[in-house]
């Protein structure tokens, strides 16, 4: 009887404990426990935004995004699962066998891009979580997961560059996380990336979404597409030609810019040795990731004589056919400046001073213009000022303020030494002369996308009168003139384009020798800027060659004129520009 009483007491106590626990769970702590349960099954998921595309002026894709997956693995957890399954059923592969199967299978599915040994090392690591591969196509991921369910996957956006190296120096690249790393991909990252969204839902035991549980849905806002002004066909051609010119000339590097005369829009901007955006940058250690046309200023040399020519005509200090007795050297402010060739006093016309690129004749005209008016003209041409083109890392170049000119400044600046300019700025100067004296700030982002990209509308600056601009264009046709006797030949005759009037200017500038911080007598910047056609301007081409040993076509001398002829000829044919209505009249360079 005593035992029964004890047993009943125990049963009663147990029942009271259970009842008390049920009261606590269902009444006292019900709200708290319910909240915890909801929190455990509640999942907030990120809805990734699709990165905007970058296209050329005709809508051709330069960069776009595609859906992809990153292959993941949980080494510790999966190895335990495999071991437990093998214990329960010895016919199931053991840990080592199964890991080897997964490594071999994944490597094969990825085409051997990652070795089986490297994958196996990841599978056997002591980490809780590892990435096996990134940017794997959805089809390949499905094939892998169907055969090896132990492998997980995360959604990724795969950035694709169909043209590989095409305009890579402009477009740039993204990093492994899909964020902009260089170029426009970096500077316009916030515009291209868009904004990720989120959604919350309840997850059942099997991992599936409980029907009707989705809430707090904030859709992703996809990134904006950006249209550029460049033409893919022209960009490809110019890129191929600057690479060829580097090889033929032996230059350290070669760059070229093509502008539309009427709009100032960049049609092509190419460097040699750029990178392949479709490959990881880590695999291209020698590639040039920058954009020298906007980031790397240089002393332009005689190409800059267009400032003196424009000022001399605008202020009426000379005329194209005026004859000047030009000696072989001139002394200014204690500095002696020589022409590039030895000669006595020669009767050069104003046209001939620029056609033959006489330093002495140019300085004689600059003295007539005067320092103040020359400095004003330099500013109107936009030198020493960023163009605001919208490309990252743009340099303003360097032009000393008039108040800081030393005794020898005015003996250097009119012949393109003592100041620095980017290739884009140099080309923009000639756009102003080609466009009847109006310089339009160059732009590379199409007008309809400029505001979103944070780029202001281009400003127009009246540099010289329409008549002065036309006269300069006509005078600079002398640079392209050939004469079997050499007397009336210009310095850029190799750049002439059959059937078209063209004008331009060659340039040779001494580079600074860092060992003495003085001008080198062995290293030069070789430049060229030209207008095609000269009688009805459509295009301006600017070229920079860093210390070549031959001309751009491999011939003797050091000239970029042949490269202008090649690019200009392609441009005119591509756009089906009619031949000039008449041949260039013979110009008088020497009286």
pLDDT tens readout for residues 153-169: 888 888 999 999 999 99
pLDDT band at 210 (very low <50, low <70, confident <90, very high): confident
Q: Say which range, 113-122, 317-326, 540-549, has the weakest mean pLDDT.
A: 113-122
Please answer whether residues 268 and 230 qualify as being in contact, where contact means their C-beta atoms are separated by less than 8 angstroms: yes
pLDDT on residue 32 = 59
Domain co-membership, 323 together with 462? yes
pLDDT on residue 196 = 83
pLDDT digits (tens, 9 = 90+) for 215-261: 888 888 889 999 999 999 999 999 999 999 999 999 999 999 999 99
282 among known catalytic residues = no
Burial 345-380 (b: 16+ CB within 10 A, else e): ebebbbbbbbbbbbbbbbbbbbbebeeebbbebbeb
**Vertex 474: Cα angle to 470 and 477 (nearest 5):** 145
Half-sphere exposure of 32 (CA within 13 A, CB side): 5
Work out the number of other CB atoms within 10 angstroms of the CB of residue 95.
Answer: 17
State residue 234 phi and psi, 5-degree precision. -65, -40
Please answer whether residues 237 and 64 qualify as being in contact, where contact means their C-beta atoms are separated by less than 8 angstroms: no
pLDDT on residue 41 = 62
Report residue 288 as tokens.
Answer: 């040039």
pLDDT on residue 176 = 79
Asked whether residue 21 is domain-assigned, the answer is no
Give the number of domains in the chain. 2
Most confident of 178-187, 217-226, 277-286, 316-325: 316-325
Most confident of 136-150, 210-224, 307-321: 307-321
Tokens 């990841």: give the residue.
Answer: 122
Asked whether residue 44 is domain-assigned, the answer is no
Asked whether residue 148 is domain-assigned, the answer is no
pLDDT on residue 110 = 94
Report residue 51 as tokens.
Answer: 């990165």
pLDDT digits (tens, 9 = 90+) for 552-580: 999 999 999 999 999 999 999 999 999 99
pLDDT at residue 389 greater than cutoff 60: yes
Burial 258-282 (b: 16+ CB within 10 A, else e): bbbbebbbbbbbbbbbbbbbbeebe
Q: Residues 386-394: what's their mean pLDDT? A: 95
Domain co-membership, 253 together with 383? yes
**Vertex 420: Cα angle to 356 and 229 (nearest 5):** 90
pLDDT digits (tens, 9 = 90+) for 20-55: 666 555 666 555 545 554 455 677 777 788 899 999
CATH number of the domain enclosing 295: 3.40.710.10
Asked whether residue 259 is domain-assigned, the answer is yes
Q: Residues 59-88: what's their mean pLDDT? A: 91
**Would you say the C-alpha torsion 181, 182, 183, 186 has a positive or negative sign?**
positive
Asked whether residue 466 is domain-assigned, the answer is yes
pLDDT band at 540 (very low <50, low <70, confident <90, very high): very high
Asked whether residue 152 is domain-assigned, the answer is no
pLDDT at residue 9 greater than cutoff 90: no
440 alpha-carbon distance from chain centroid: 21
pLDDT at residue 286 greater than cutoff 90: no
pLDDT at residue 2 greater than cutoff 70: no
User: Is the peptide bond between 533 and the residue preceding it cis, with omega within 30 degrees of 0?
Assistant: yes
pLDDT on residue 444 = 98
Domain co-membership, 261 together with 112? no
Asked whether residue 258 is domain-assigned, the answer is yes
Query: What SS3 class is residue 314?
Result: helix
pLDDT on residue 321 = 97
Residue 371: give the domain boundaries: 232-275+291-574
Work out the number of other CB atoms within 10 angstroms of the CB of residue 543.
Answer: 34
53, 293, 302, 551: which one is catalytic?
302
For 150, residues 6+ apart whose C-beta sits below 8 A from its C-beta are 73, 78, 81, 82, 98, 102
pLDDT digits (tens, 9 = 90+) for 178-193: 889 999 999 999 999 9
Q: Say which range, 88-102, 132-146, 212-226, 549-563, has the weakest mean pLDDT.
A: 212-226
% of the chain residues with pLDDT over 70: 94
Q: Residues 361-368: what's their mean pLDDT? A: 97
In this prediction the pTM is 0.85
């Amino acid at each position: 009887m005593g035992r029964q009483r004890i047993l009943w007491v125990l049963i009663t106590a147990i029942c009271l404990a259970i009842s008390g626990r049920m009261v606590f769970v269902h009444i006292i702590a019900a709200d708290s426990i319910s909240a915890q349960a909801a929190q455990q099954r509640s999942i907030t998921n990120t809805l990734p935004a699709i990165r905007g595309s970058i296209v050329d002026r005709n809508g051709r894709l330069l960069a776009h995004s595609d859906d992809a997956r990153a292959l993941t693995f949980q080494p510790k957890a999966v190895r335990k699962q495999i071991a437990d399954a093998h214990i329960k059923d010895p016919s199931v592969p053991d840990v080592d066998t199964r890991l080897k199967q997964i490594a071999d299978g994944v490597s094969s599915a990825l085409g051997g891009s990652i070795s089986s040994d490297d994958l196996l090392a990841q599978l056997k690591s002591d980490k809780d979580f590892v990435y096996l591969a990134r940017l794997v196509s959805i089809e390949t991921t499905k094939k892998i997961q169907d055969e090896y369910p132990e492998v997980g996957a995360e959604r990724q956006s795969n950035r694709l560059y169909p043209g590989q190296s095409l305009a890579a120096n402009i477009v740039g690249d993204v990093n492994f996380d899909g964020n902009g790393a260089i170029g426009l991909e970096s500077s316009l990252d916030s515009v291209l990336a868009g904004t990720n969204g989120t959604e919350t839902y309840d997850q059942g035991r099997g991992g599936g979404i409980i029907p009707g549980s989705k809430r707090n849905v904030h859709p992703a806002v996809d990134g904006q597409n950006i249209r550029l002004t460049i033409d893919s066909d022209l960009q490809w051609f110019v890129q191929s030609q600057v690479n060829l010119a580097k090889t033929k000339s032996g230059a350290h590097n070669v760059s070229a810019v093509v502008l539309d005369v009427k709009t100032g829009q960049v049609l092509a901007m190419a460097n040699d040795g750029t990178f392949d955006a479709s490959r990881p940058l880590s695999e291209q250690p020698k590639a040039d990731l920058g954009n020298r046309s906007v980031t790397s200023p240089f002393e332009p040399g005689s190409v800059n004589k267009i400032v003196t020519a424009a000022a001399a005509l605008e202020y009426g200090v000379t005329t194209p056919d005026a004859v000047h007795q030009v000696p072989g050297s001139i002394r200014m402010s204690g500095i002696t400046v020589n022409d590039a060739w030895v000669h006595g006093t020669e009767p050069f016309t104003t046209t001939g001073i620029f056609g033959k690129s006489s330093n002495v004749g140019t300085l004689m005209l600059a003295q007539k213009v005067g320092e103040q008016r020359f400095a004003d003209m330099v500013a109107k041409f936009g030198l020493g000022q960023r163009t605001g083109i919208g490309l990252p890392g743009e340099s303003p170049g360097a032009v000393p303020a008039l108040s800081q000119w030393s005794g020898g400044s005015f003996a250097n600046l009119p012949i393109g030494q003592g100041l620095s300019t980017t290739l884009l700025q140099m080309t923009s100067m000639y756009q102003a002369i080609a466009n009847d004296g109006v310089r339009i700030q160059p732009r590379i982002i199409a007008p309809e996308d400029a505001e979103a990209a944070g780029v202001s509308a281009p400003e127009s600056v009246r540099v010289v009168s329409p008549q002065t601009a036309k006269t300069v264009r006509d005078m600079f046709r002398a640079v392209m003139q050939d004469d079997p006797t050499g007397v009336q030949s210009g310095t850029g005759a190799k750049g002439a384009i059959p059937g078209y009037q063209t004008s331009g200017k060659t340039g040779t500038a001494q580079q600074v020798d860092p060992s003495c911080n003085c001008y080198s007598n062995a290293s030069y910047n070789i430049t060229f800027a030209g207008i095609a056609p000269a009688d009805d301007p459509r295009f301006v081409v600017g070229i920079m060659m860093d210390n070549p040993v031959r001309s751009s076509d491999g011939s003797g001398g050091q000239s970029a004129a042949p490269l202008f002829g090649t690019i200009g000829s392609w441009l005119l044919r591509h756009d089906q520009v009619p031949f000039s209505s008449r041949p260039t009249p013979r110009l008088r360079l020497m009286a």
